[in-house]
């Protein structure tokens, strides 16, 4: 933020002064009307105006770190202010459950608020899954070579401590369904869990969640998805996809505050997945004198301790923002930009596309590398042109990942393609 913007923004918050026009959070009724009117240009312009993103930069990394729109930022401030005025322990239960209710609706028509625990993000969620399941020495877990460090470190930690065995497969980038076969080949009578990304952070590949779920169910294996790149990034229904456990960070595609996320547990499995941190909110009742404890009967059992509840109330606002525009509309917008970029990359000499060959398994994140330039050099070059992307070192891929979200437009696709053409010479 430059000096001018800083003062403008600070003024906007101090003492509830009238907000400068360009920092005024959009009225959701207006946004809804615009979305219904079908005027794409006007809608996306209004959406873009809701972000503080530095106009000098083209931000193409929502897959790395999301940005909050003004209604969400305002919500954090409003809740924080009212709490600081009259500090009181615990959180407003009604508002807390309202946030869960909204999130559950976003995740699909059959998901209920009781299936969701509000946690800090995917790193915490995968660690609850890895450490909360009753895995013993020699039990095998299948995962891919394209996972985030949250999954890798979580699994290695349990391997070092308890002797679980990690079985790896290289994602099939040619055939989405080929991944089901690759997983099936690793299954034996010691396999207990399949834990993979919903959408990988490396190439933006979407795994065929329904088919893997079916396989896992047939074999009596738990199936968990690391959905850090799932909700709002790709359309899906959490209950219909049949997954047992699902976790996500909502700061990315949902555009909620940082350090918000959730853990979903399929109905009937709460007692299978033990909380790994317990405290206030985890239990329905506990009596240390009698040595008794009853865990909370919902996924609240994965919550504990004092919360920065303003963040989670603002998560509810982020869901409102997304729903007002429409998840399908957002998907169509982001997908169209990503596909135009994908096609454009094919025209640039020396570019090797790393994202899946089948469109159905691609997401709004596209990865590539250049035969002529090392990936760090490509990123340096793009930075000079003020394009913010993410380098991917995971799985030894050494490539660049470009994410397209609601703040982006056709001009951004043109800009990055032109920049890459310049580099390619
Ligand atoms: C696939 C995947 N899993 C887990 C994480 C970790 O998310 P967080 O740092 O928000 O916990 C990320 C973050 O980029 C990710 O892409």
Q: What is the DSSP string of 335-378?
A: HHHHHHHHHHHHTSTTEEE-S-SSGGG--SEEEEEESSS-HHHH
At 1 the pLDDT is 46
| Stretches in the chain below the pLDDT threshold 50 | 1, 3-4, 6-17
Whats the size of the chain, residue-wise? 425
The listed CATH number (3.90.1150.10, 2.40.30.10, 2.40.128.110, 3.40.50.300) that belongs to domain 328-424: 3.90.1150.10
Distance CA 127, CA 155 (A): 8
CA distance 194 to 142: 5
Displacement of CA 232 from its chain's centroid (Å):
8
Residue 251, burial from CB neighbour count under 10 angstroms (0-12, 13-18, 19+): buried
Question: Crossing angle for the helix pair 28-37 and 309-325, nearest 10 degrees?
Answer: 30
Pocket test for ligand 1, best of 249, 257, 259 (most atoms within 8 A of CB): 249
Please tell me the predicted confidence (pLDDT) of residue 24. Answer: 81
Ligand 1 atom with the smallest distance to the CA of 258 is 10
The pTM (predicted TM-score) of the whole model is 0.94
Q: Ligand 1 centre and the CA of 123: distance in Å?
A: 6
Locate the ligand 1 atom nearest the alpha carbon of residue 150 and give its number.
4
In this structure, the residue with its CA closest to atom 15 of ligand 1 is: 228
What are the extents of the domains in the chain? Answer: 93-322, 328-424
Query: Do 72 and 256 contact (CB within 8 A), yes or no?
Result: yes
Which SS3 state, helix, strand or coil, does residue 292 take? strand
What CA–CA distance (Å, rounded) separates 348 from 362? 20
Q: What is the pLDDT of residues 173-196, one digit of tens each?
A: 999 999 999 999 999 999 999 999
Helices (H) and strands (E) counted in the chain, each on its own, are: 13, 15
Domain 93-322: assigned CATH number: 3.40.640.10
CA dist 3 and 92 (Å) reads: 37
pLDDT at 4: 46
Name residues contacting ligand 1 (CB within 6 A).
121-123, 148, 150, 197, 201, 226, 228-229, 249
SS3 275: coil
| Test site for ligand 1: of 66, 118, 150, most ligand atoms within 8 A of the Cβ | 150
Contacts 24+ apart (CB under 8 A), 133-136: 133/192, 133/193, 133/222, 133/272, 133/273, 133/274, 134/272, 134/274, 135/162, 135/164, 135/192, 135/193, 136/162, 136/163, 136/164
Specify the ligand 1 atom closest to the Cα of 252.
Answer: 10
Question: Which tens digit of pLDDT belongs to each residue from 120-156?
Answer: 999 999 999 999 999 999 999 999 999 999 999 999 9
Helix, strand or coil, per DSSP, at residue 159: helix
Q: What's the gap in Å between 41 CA and the centre of ligand 1?
A: 32
């Amino acid at each position: 933020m430059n000096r001018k913007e800083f003062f403008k923004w600070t003024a906007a918050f101090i003492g509830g002064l009238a907000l400068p026009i360009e920092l005024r959070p959009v009225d959701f009724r207006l946004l809804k009307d615009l979305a219904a009117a079908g005027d794409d240009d006007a809608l996306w312009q209004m959406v873009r105006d809701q972000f503080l993103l530095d106009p000098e930069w083209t931000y193409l990394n929502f897959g790395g770190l999301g940005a909050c729109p003004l209604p969400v930022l305002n919500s954090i401030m409003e809740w924080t202010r009212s709490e600081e005025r009259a500090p009181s322990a615990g959180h407003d239960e009604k508002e807390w459950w309202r946030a869960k209710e909204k999130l559950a609706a976003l995740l699909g028509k059959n998901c209920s608020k009781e299936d969701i625990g509000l946690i800090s993000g995917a790193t915490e969620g995968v660690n609850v899954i890895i450490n909360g399941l009753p895995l013993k020495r020699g039990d095998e877990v299948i995962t891919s070579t394209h996972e985030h460090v949250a999954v890798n470190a979580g699994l290695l930690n349990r391997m070092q401590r308890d002797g679980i065995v990690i079985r790896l497969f290289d994602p099939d980038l040619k055939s989405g369904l080929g991944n089901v076969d690759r997983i099936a080949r690793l299954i034996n009578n010691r396999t207990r869990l399949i834990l993979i990304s919903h959408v990988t952070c490396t190439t933006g590949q979407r795994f065929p969640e329904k088919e893997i779920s079916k396989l896992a169910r047939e074999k009596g294996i738990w199936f968990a998805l690391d959905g850090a790149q799932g909700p709002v990034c790709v359309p899906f229904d959490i209950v219909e996809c049949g997954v047992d456990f699902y976790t996500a960070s909502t700061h990315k595609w949902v555009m909620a505050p940082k350090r918000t996320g959730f853990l979903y547990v399929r109905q009937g499995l709460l007692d299978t997945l033990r909380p790994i941190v317990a405290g206030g909110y985890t239990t329905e009742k506990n009596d240390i004198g009698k040595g008794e404890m009853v865990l909370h009967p919902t996924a609240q059992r994965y919550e504990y301790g004092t919360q920065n509840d303003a963040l989670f109330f603002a998560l509810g606002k982020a869901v409102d923002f997304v729903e007002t525009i429409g998840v399908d509309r957002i998907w169509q917008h982001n997908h169209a930009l990503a596909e135009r970029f994908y096609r454009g990359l094919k025209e640039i000499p020396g570019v090797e596309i790393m994202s899946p060959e089948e469109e159905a398994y691609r997401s709004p994140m596209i990865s590539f590398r250049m035969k002529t330039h090392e990936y760090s050099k490509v990123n340096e070059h793009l930075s000079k042109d003020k394009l913010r992307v993410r380098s991917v070192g995971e799985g030894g891929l050494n490539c660049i990942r470009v994410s397209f979200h609601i703040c982006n437009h056709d001009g951004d696709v043109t800009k990055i393609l032109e920049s890459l053409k310049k580099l390619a010479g």
